[in-house]
A and B are shown apart, each in its own frame.
Chain A
Amino acid sequence: MNIRYLLKMANEIAAGFSALPDEAAASREVAGHLRRFWAPQMRRQIVEHARATGGEGLSALARRAVGELG
């Protein structure tokens, strides 16, 4: 899949949980959402991207959540 497509979705999911005051809790929610709703190949691809680029294109919360997937 085009990585920009995945990055956009991941950032939007992170924005959806952005109001949670505890960033660790927000990150767990985002990671849980990705595990629950994303097909494994999509998760693998974004994890590989994050590892390879240091999370380029991801918001801080999304980057942290993707890190939890790995």
Chain B
Amino acid sequence: MMQICDIDHGTPASRSAEKVTLTIDGRSVTVPAGTSVMRAASEMGNSIPKLCATEQLKPFGSCRLCLVEIEGRRGYPASCTTPVEAGMVVRTQSPKLAELRRGVMELYLSDHPLDCFACPANGNCELQTAAGMVGLREVRYEPGANHFDAASRQPVDVSNPYFAYDPAKCIVCSRCVRACDDIQGTFALTIAGRGFASRMVAGESQPYLDSKCVSCGACVAACPTGSLMEKSLIERGQAQGSTITTCAYCGVGCSLKVETQGSEIVRIVPDRAGGANRGHACVKGRFAWGYATHRDRITRPMIRASIREPWREVSWQEALDHAAAELRRIQAEHGRNAVGGVTSSRCTNEETYLVQKLMRAALGTNNVDTCARVCHAPTGYGLKQTLGEAAGTQAFDSVEQADVVMLIGANSTDAHPVFGSRLKQRLREGARLIVIDPRSIELARSPHIEAAYHLKLLPGTNVAVLNALAHVIVTEGLVDVAFVRERCEVDSFEAWRDFVARPENAPEAMAAVSGVPAEAIRGAARLYASAANAAIYYGLGVTEHSQGSTAVMAIAALAMATGNIGREGVGVNPLRGQNNVQGSGDMGSFPHEFTGYRHVGDDAVRASFEAEWGVALDPEPGMRLPNMLEAAHEGGLRALYIQGEDIVQSDPNSQHVAAALQAMECVIIQDLFLNETAQYAHVFLPGSSFLEKDGTFTNSERRISPVRQVMAPLGGMADWQVTQALSNALGYPMSYGHPSEIMDEIARLTPTFHGVSYAKLERLGSIQWPCNEAAPEGTPTMHVDSFVRGKGRFMLTPYVATSEKAGPRYPLLMTTGRILSQYNVGTQTRRTGNLAWYKEDLLEIHPHDAEERNIRDGDWVGVASRAGETVLRASVTERVQPGVCYTTFHFPECGANVLTTDNSDWATNCPEYKVTAVQVVRVTQPSEWQERRRRFAEEQARLRPETARAGGA
């Protein structure tokens, strides 16, 4: 169903620069060539009735309602499928057209239930609107065969947790089918039957939930009637108002419209004007928002002296005073660097900025880090070294100009689904695809898409393959010599060229290491280097390795060597894991950097912060998060303030993390829920969801987008207010009245943000940084005329095998990742209907390895690594290759990160989540760790205030 207040011009806008002038209803109109007559008329204010047309989809011409008269043409062409022509004279209204449209409308309504007053679409139904526009006053047909009376009606499909499908209200316009095909690219829906029997069905006439539907909601958004409708809207009725905000899930950063009645959410729909998502969303952002008001939310501050004691609910002031006193006590006893902080990539830029400011200015330590440490820190390091800026080079729109896409270690259709859909669209238009991934991800082969090359490498060998690709480019004369000569450091290029040209980097030499046939590497290199526009997109499958930073630098080298940087359709595009990973790095969350990636040791930069903040700042880097945890084991760090992260579940070697927290004297958690980490906490400060506050998120394409408050914070304070209050309790005054004032401070201090303000965000919708005097409205494409660092720098990228090797004791290599319906540690999505698709982490294992171990699909299997042991259910599948297995990390009881080790990227300490040597055996009971965790969780549950009260009563 169309969104409230949206004007839908019926067909997509044309991007042609050529203009065409025609006459519509006696008025001269000039529009881009390729515009439909329907759109041209709508844009001038003369909307033509329509049912099968929407500007989100290509015209289809089936409903016959949008007929027009065109001078010199016979008949009554459909305006949606008729492009404008110079000199064309169009009439959108005439007695004959009115008669024809009423006739069409009568036919539609003769087979449509006329229970409009009780229909949830009432007030926002395109069928109603169209009937009104054509002036229909009666339906002359006698009752006959239909799809809506009691005898004919098919049951409503309520299998999907979020929306219902009522076939009786379907008008067979195919908008849902086309949305699934053209926008989402899943091809889960079809029109079954012929003639009068035609009706939309999911899959092979299955319930939606059993079909291949991924619940993106595109079909629901496209439906012009009440046939496909959100259950929340059916329950509550039409919205009173709406707010544009930004999704708090993955790094795509979709713009969303939250429709509300008062402060109650009726539904969330994608914002058609959204720069990142262009009107699309996924099952998480569109539907999985119920966690925000879940009964598990903790909304009162709590403290306790030790983790074996019951939590005690206290006032905000008491909790903040207690936290501040503990931090000061520990600093007094053990030094200022005995405390640390963790900012959240799920919180806003302003909140993240405040936490690092609190650590550096109020507590005088640079011990602050962010969860970007455990995902994209190598991107920051690698791209800064080579290109000069710690960020991706393009806008998502750029993919529409790409001729070849190289996708490395990124399962976009699951982890960045809206971008995955856009990539699919481009591939269906003819772009070629190279996939570098150990698994057979959906993009390697799915309906209407097949990668030209799938380099199915062994986990841990990215650099080997990237160097081999570079070897081919260099030795086969595929270098863009002119680009390199003009744009790059020639010395560093020559050293790199000589290095990758060595025989040990040849595909034939690396084939034995990576498992990828040399010819496939050669073919992929030729395809990438020969394309007019070739773009690289990569994810955590690149960064979360012992050579994550090396791989990022190798990727940058490929792009520079082939001239694929500095214009649309090309570039180096890191796909960030969480919503504000880019932003948390931008905001100075890393221990060695202030905002804008400037080192704390830079005297001039530090002086600017000292002047703004009014305190002397430490010129030495602080400890990274893994360093802090390691230090805690030996008393080197005794207090940790964690904003919105669950490090016990998300960080590697969970038992090591838990032991570090147990060794601390004061763990302060600011979160929505009592998560795994909070079980080791002494202070709990209620956090607020993205719906409860104002701020900004910055997505993978450097797009700063507004987050707007829809409801009051359930705990009484937004996260930025909590950090401010803690700072005040520590004696370092902060007095921001609104997050816009925090952004103003960020803009003052940060050259790449100089031009950013809430007023500008309001005007432009979103802004891609750098936004400053040189680029007042932002920068969609970076490094256009020169690199940020001046000349592009080639780094030598030797392949160094990880120490995490398969062997007799642990013969399989396990890699980890995400699934579409769940997000990160699942804190949010596990508390939504998304459990319908995935309710436990599974271990994918190849049939060959399963057979050797007598493992069948669905069996419990014990998985052991040198870090720990857990038990999961097996999924026997050829998605993984022999010798490799895979799991996700969404469920705490499954313990994927009990298995991952403390190996990390050499340059940034980003954990090597993607390579863990394991053994897998069939078992019948949970692991010892799982039993210990269960007992501990039960004990902690008894210590919650409500449980303690119930027990006391």
Which residues of A approach B to under 8 Å, CB–CB? 1-2, 5, 9, 12-13, 15-16, 18-21, 33, 36-42
Contact = CB atoms under 8 A, between A and B. Distances in A.
Q: Which of B546, B620, B904, B908 has the most CB of A within 10 A?
A: B620
Contact of A39 (B337, B797, B908): B337
A5 B907 CA distance: 14
B592 A36 contact: yes
B550 A16 contact: yes
A1 B909 CA distance: 15
Contact of A41 (B550, B599, B636): B636
A5 B906 contact: no
A21 B491 CA distance: 13
Contacts of B591: 39
A18 B798 contact: yes
A15 B621 CA distance: 22
A42 B906 contact: no
A33 B907 contact: yes
A13 B798 CA distance: 12
A19 B909 contact: no
Contacts of B620: 39-40
B636 A1 contact: yes
Contacts of A20: 796
Given A1-B630, A16-B549, A16-B800, 17 more contacts: A1-B634, A1-B636, A2-B633, A5-B902, A12-B906, A13-B906, A15-B798, A15-B800, A18-B798, A19-B796, A36-B592, A36-B599, A36-B601, A37-B621, A38-B621, A39-B627, A41-B337
B634 to A, nearest CB: 6
B592 A1 contact: no
B623 interface: yes
5 contacts: A1-B636, A16-B549, A19-B798, A36-B599, A39-B621
A2 B800 contact: no
A41 B340 CA distance: 14
Interface in B795-841: 796-798, 800
Contacts of B631: 1
Nearest to B633: A2
Grouping DSSP codes into helix (H, G, I), strand (E, B) and loop, the B interface class, with mixed when no group exceeds half, is: loop
Contact of B800 (A5, A18, A42): A18
B630 A39 contact: no
Given A37-B592, A37-B621, A41-B636, A5 B630 contact: yes
Contact of B627 (A18, A36, A42): A42
Interface centre among A18, A33, A39 (most CB of B within 10 A): A39
B633 to A, nearest CB: 7
B622 interface: yes
A19 B634 contact: no
B891 interface: no
Interface of B: 337, 366-367, 495, 499, 546-547, 549-550, 591-592, 599, 601, 620-624, 627, 630-631, 633-634, 636, 796-798, 800, 902, 904, 906-909
A36 B590 CA distance: 12
A39 to B, nearest CB: 5
Given A36-B599, A39-B591, A2 B621 contact: no
A9 B798 contact: no
A21 B550 CA distance: 17
A11 B886 CA distance: 29
Nearest to B908: A37
B634 A2 contact: yes
Contacts of A42: 623, 627
Nearest to B632: A1
A56 B547 CA distance: 24
User: Lowest 8 CB-CB distances: which A-B pairs, in order?
Assistant: A12-B906, A19-B796, A19-B798, A16-B906, A39-B623, A40-B620, A15-B800, A1-B630
A5 B636 CA distance: 14
A12 B624 CA distance: 16
A50 B634 CA distance: 20
Contacts of A19: 499, 796-798
B800 A1 contact: no
B659 to A, nearest CB: 13
A69 to B, nearest CB: 13
A41 B365 CA distance: 13
A36 B602 CA distance: 11
Contacts of A2: 630, 633-634
A67 to B, nearest CB: 20
A40 B634 CA distance: 17
A9 B909 contact: yes
Given A36-B592, A40-B620, A1 B797 contact: no
Contacts of B796: 19-20
A24 to B, nearest CB: 15
A17 to B, nearest CB: 8
Question: Interface centre among A13, A16, A42, by most B CB within 10 Å?
Answer: A16
A70 B108 CA distance: 84
A18 B547 CA distance: 13
A9 B909 CA distance: 8
A42 B908 CA distance: 15
A70 B633 CA distance: 26
Contacts of B797: 19
Contacts of A1: 627, 630-631, 634, 636
A1 B629 CA distance: 10
Contact of B907 (A13, A40, A41): A13
Contacts of B495: 21
A24 B756 CA distance: 44
A38 B634 CA distance: 18
Nearest to B600: A36
Contacts of A41: 337, 636
A15 B623 CA distance: 22
Contacts of B633: 2
Contacts of B367: 39
A36 B621 contact: yes
Contacts of A40: 620-621
Contacts of A18: 798, 800
A33 B384 CA distance: 14
Contacts of A12: 546, 800, 906
Nearest to A20: B796
Of B499, B621, B904, most A-chain CB atoms within 10 Å? B621
Nearest to B622: A39
A36 B599 CA distance: 8
A41 B367 CA distance: 12
A12 B547 CA distance: 9
A22 to B, nearest CB: 10
A1 B902 CA distance: 14
